[in-house]
Structure 1
Amino acid sequence: FDIDPKKESLSEGETPGVAGINDFGRLGYGGPCPPRGHGVHRYYFKVYALDIPSLKLKSGANKSAVEKAMKGHILAYGELAGKYERM
């Protein structure tokens, strides 16, 4: 979260803003990694435009804290849905 609104692209391994806790309970992006042979999994990536420059949260904030801080400040959002299967 708190990615600079002027940022137009990301390099592999780059953390462009502040890292929160992921679904694995770890800091940072975890990426899609379904169990082998478990079939197709769906993944959703969301990006939000806010009317404030910062959520004023510390590194390690969880999803609930980020959503609460964004409430009432969302100007627009986009979503990308993808599917991935690990053989």
Structure 2
Amino acid sequence: MSEQKRRPLPHDFHPQVPSFAVVSEDVSLGVKLKNDQVYAGGNLSPELRWDGFPPETKSFAVTCFDPDAPTGSGFWHWVLFDIPATVTELPTGAGSGDMKGLPEGAVHARNDYGSRDFGGAAPPPGDGPHRYVFTVYAVDQEKLGPDADASPAVVGFHLRFHALARAQLIGEYEASAAD
């Protein structure tokens, strides 16, 4: 990917906060996403586990953002918030399909596909590799404030002011011109 195309990450514009650990069986730093996390593949949200967050955490939020989408504003693939502070893992598929494994009380905002779930990677063929930034936020409130009708920008606005800490994993995916 050319340097010209590498766009900032969504939280590059937020205040600095401490980090904590997030790991996944499905996403690895800089590694191509599995077909399960591709829109035309399995279209399943990845398994995520986190720890080392501040003890005063009252809830979590999870997002997936493609800053390299050819939109001028990136592309939100997943916006999930109000995850109870007792939940520190989401199984594969929790945010997609039948939502099995999604914690009670968690809220999905509409992603840029227009649905309230996880939407997998789908870069335009031949557009080069895209980064998929999975971020877990430790939040200082049990309820972030927005509801399921909120846009990703509104959720991000609230996270800017209520994130105690952040953890991220960045996977990549590229659709060849022949795909």
Normalization by structure 1: what TM-score?
0.80
Matched, 1:72 2:161: yes
Alpha-carbon offset, residue 25 of structure 1 = 2.3
Q: Computing the radius of gyration over CA atoms, which structure comes out larger, 1 or 2?
A: 2
Report the aligned-residue RMSD: 1.8
Specify every segment of 5 or more residues in structure 2 that has no aligned partner in the other structure, as ranges. Answer: 1-80, 96-101
1:69 is aligned with what amino acid? H
Is the alpha carbon distance of 1:36 and 1:69 closer, same or farther for their aligned partners in structure 2, counting shifts above 3 Å?
same
Give the alignment of 1:7-46 within 5 angstroms: 7-15=87-95, 16=102, 17-46=106-135
Secondary structure in structure 2 of the residue aligned to 1:7: coil
The one of 143, 146, 154 aligned to 1:57: 146
CA positional deviation for 1:13:
2.5
1:2 maps onto 2:91 in alignment: no
Identity of aligned residues (%): 38
The Cα of 1:56 is off from its aligned counterpart by 2.6
Counterpart of 1:11 in structure 2: which amino acid? P
How far 1:70 moved relative to its partner? Answer: 2.4
Aligned amino acid, residue 82 of structure 2: D
Q: CA deviation at 1:12?
A: 2.8
Instruction: Report which structure shows greater RCO (CA 8 Å, sep ≥6).
Output: 1
**Which 4+ runs in 1 deviate beyond 6 A?**
none
Unpaired runs of at least 5, structure 1: none
Report the number of matched residues. 87
